Structures are given as structure tokens and as C-alpha cells.
Structure 1
Amino acid sequence: MTTSVHGLSTPSNPSRRHILKSAPLVVTSSLAWGVASKSASARLEPVERPDLLPTSPGQKVIAAGVPILTSGQQKRATSIIDRIESKTGIRIRLLTQNYPVTPGLAIKDYWNLDKGNYVVMVVDDFGGKSNLLNFNVSDDLELTMPSIYFSRVAGKFGNLFYVKNSGKDQAIFDALESMEVCLIEEGFCKDPGTGQGGFK
């Protein structure tokens, strides 16, 4: 299935992966690299704003627009991401944005998304009109984390009801912790599990 990211156009039935490769940056479910998913037919203009990227390389959590996470929460998210990467080699990256305030396609070069195993989680609810969580996933991860897994994570933790009751920050951490359990404790999974923290 193809989706588009901030400012990228995608097929009428877009896939998250396609979006990552061809769109700016809205990732998955409507986000996938710049364009989003207000509706299957909605098309947002592509965005490419390297000026919104950090001046120093290697930052794994990037906030564009109104920040969702505090500086302390960003450090916590980075810590979870570091644990996953050190134990699995899979790069998890987190972008919070407020389309059209997004680096869009420029993020691909910054995070070197042309190679390796990675998951980019883009957080943007498009003014409360869309699922909060969107994912861009490398093709090589299919055997470990099938696309249905990310659909379920987005559906479980990113839906409007969950976000309203738990908050955007908690939705982000629940999704990250679900991925951590999936990759490190389970080794393979198709479902984010049950309970607020996924498998917990």
C-alpha cells in the first residue's frame, strides 16, 4: 500500500514503503514523507526543507514545528532507539512534524535512508484529522517486521481516541516500546500486543 509524505504524491492506494521512497515525508498511514492521508485522494504538495534539519549530523529524534516531546523525553526516546539499534542493527528514527513544517524529502539524505534496515516513525496528526503515527520501512525488514505490524501499531497507538486519552507523547513511547519488545524479546511479530504498552 502506498502513502505519501509531506508534499509527495503517491498512488491512490499508497503504501508506506512507496511513500518513503517517492514522497517527502509524511510516512506511513498518511504521513510517509511529507504528504499525508486525509483521504486516499488527498494530495499534499511535496516539501523539501533542509533548513529544518539539525546542523549537527546523527540526531535520531528530530522535531519540526511545534515540539511534542520535551528535551528530556527526546533523550528517553533516543535511549530506546539506541538500545534497539545496538541489539538488532535496525535503525529507528523519529520525526515529529506539523505539515507543512517538515524537512520532507531532505530527511532521506540526513538519515541516509537509501540503504540498511530502518524504520522511520513520523508523528503528525494533520490537525487532528489523521492517525498520529506513520511509518516508513526499508524493504529488508519484511521478514522481521511485516507491514501489517506497523499498520496495527499505528491503529492501536495512533488513533484519535487513544491519543486523546493518553496524549501524543505517550502514544510515541508506546509505539517505540512495542517495537523494542517485538525486535528484542519476540524476534518477530505481527501484532503490537495488548495493554497500554503493547506487549506488557
Structure 2
Amino acid sequence: MTGLRCTVAAALSSLCMMAGGAAMPLVAWADPTLTRSTYVYDAGRLLGSEKRDRLDSELAEFSRRTGWNVRVVTSYGPGTRPDETEIRAAWGPLDKRSVIVEYDATAPSLINLPYIGDEAVVLLRRPWWFEFKGRFGNLFYVREQGEQTAILASTQVLMGCLARPGGCAVVPGLPEEQYYFTLVTSIGGGLVAGFVSKLEPQGFVQRRWVWLLIFSPLWASLFINFGLGPVVSRTDDKLPVIGNCLGFALGAASPYLVQRILAPPPLKDQQ
């Protein structure tokens, strides 16, 4: 009988310990540092103390200067951050000019947006938010640049677009892979224009340049819409524009260069 009581007591003790351990994350967020004056809550320990404090000061100054209430919370998997109710209680009431950005290092996308105010959605349309998450939250960017760089760079872009009159139509900045895509499309547009300009006149087309006008929706879309448009809308740097224009010119000249190189040598007159 005594052995049975000891076994039951041990089992109850283990259950209490397990229940206490499971409840720990629920009471761990009674954190006095999570207050309305806290703009960066680094629950996931993704930022060092120096960078966290500097970003917190920048967001606080940004809020005083512009009226936009941008808050940042980091986490490292489920159970490492306060739930939405606790965040709203600490940072509320969240109004139309409030944005909460969550950075979870274990999620497929580093960036999550649990709250976006109505005025923020009006200023920055939903495609902007999707591009914002895709640009700075994708695994390739985080792997190359690091979590801290992704957090700091994305918050700077967000503050810049919120403070800009009229907002931003696209996320500023031109990633390297996107520039290469615009360069390829510019060269492709030049190739189409070059080959079309070599077509011989026939039918109602009496001049070669008419072929350029007929096929302009194709080569102009490749060069202007996909080659220059994404560049000039995301950066003021002139070098990518010059590079794409040179790529278009090289593509347009390629058919003539290939014809000249592959042309057979002239026959010599036999004496």
C-alpha cells in the first residue's frame, strides 16, 4: 500500500512539473519591458542590444515626427513571443496609422504582418506589402544578408515609404537578380528589333522600318516595360539604365554583326 502511494505521489509530482513547464511560456510574457514606450521587442534575440536600442530610438523618433506608429517584434519559433492579445494590450490601442512587423527566424518567410492600419493600406497598396515581404523575407535574401540586415533594411524602407508623400508604388531598391532579369529582357528586345529590321519589304510593307512599327508592341514591351520600367521605378541610379540601353543596342546590332562575321569572303577574279 505504501509503495502504491509513493508511485501515485511520484506520478502526480511529475504531472505537476509537466503542467508547470507547459504553462511557463504563458506566464513568461508578464514582461515589464513590453510597454507602450517599447517600439522593438526582441523576443527572439535576433538583434543585439546595441542595434535593438538604436532601432527602438529611430522608430520612436519616427512616430513623433510623422505620426506613424511602427512596432517591431522578433521571435524564434512558436512560444517565443507574446500572443496577439498581449501585444495589443501593451501597444494598443492600434489605430489606422499603426503597423506591426513580426520577424520569425524559423518561418518560411522572415516577415509577417499581424497588423496593418487602414491608412497604411491606402498609402501603400497590397501589392507593395507582398513585394515587401518577398524582397526582405525570402530565405535566399536572409541567408545571404543575415537576419539583422534584413530586419534593419526592411524597417528603413518601410519608414521611408510611409514618410514619403503619396507613399511608394513599388519597394525601393533594385536587387541584383532583378537587375539581371531587366538586362536580359532589354537584350531580348534589341534582338527582336534587330531581326525585324532585316526583313525584306513585301506586300503592303514598302520600307524596312515599317516592320519595326508593326512589331513595336513586342520589342518595346521587352525593352521599356520589362527592361527600363522596373529600374527607373526602384532606383535613381543611372548606371543600370545605361547598362540596359547598351544591352538593347548590342542586341539590335547582333544580327548585322553576325551577318558580317559569317559572310563568305569575296571571290577573287581569276586571271
TM-score in terms of structure 2 length: 0.50
Matches within 5 A, 1:69-148: 69-98=47-76, 99-105=78-84, 106-126=86-106, 129-135=107-113, 136-148=115-127
Higher relative contact order (CA 8 A, sep 6+): 1
RMSD: 2.3
2:93 & 2:169 partners in 1: Cα distance?
Answer: 23
Q: In 2 relative to 1, CA 71–91 (structure 1 residues): closer, same or farther, beyond 3 Å?
A: same
Bigger mean CA deviation after superposition, 76-85 or 89-98:
76-85
Instruction: Give the C-alpha shift of residue 134 in structure 1.
Output: 1.1
Give how far 1:89 is off. Answer: 0.4
> 1 CA distance for matches of 2:124 and 2:59?
16
Closer/same/farther in 2, CA of residues 77 and 187 from structure 1, 3 Å limit: farther
**Which of 147, 150, 154 does residue 171 from structure 1 map onto?**
150
Say which is worse superposed, 176-185 or 139-148, in terms of deviation. 139-148
Superposition map of 1:182-197 within 5 A: 182-195=161-174
Q: Which residue of 2 aligns with 1:63?
A: 42
Question: Which 5+ residue runs of structure 2 have no aligned equivalent?
Answer: 1-24, 176-233, 237-271
**Of the two, which has the highest radius of gyration?**
2
Give the drift of 1:108: 1.0
Structure in which a larger fraction of residues adopt helix? 2
1:153-168 matches, within 5 Å, as: 153-168=132-147
Indicate if the aligned counterparts of 1:53 and 1:107 stay in contact, CA closer than 8 A.
no
* Structure 1 unmatched runs, 5+: 1-47
> Are 2:97 and 2:117, in contact at CA under 8 Å, matched by a contact in 1?
yes
In 1, are the aligned partners of 2:42 and 2:52 still within 8 Å (CA)?
no
Letter in 1 for 2:97: N
**Aligned partners of 1:124 and 1:133 also within 8 Å:** yes
User: Aligned equivalents of 2:165 and 2:138: distance in 1?
Assistant: 24
Query: Identity of paired residues, percent?
Result: 22
Q: Are the aligned partners of 1:54 and 1:62 in contact in 2 as well (CA < 8 Å)? A: no
Q: TM-score, normalised by structure 1?
A: 0.66
How many aligned residue pairs are there? 149
Matched with 1:51 is: 28
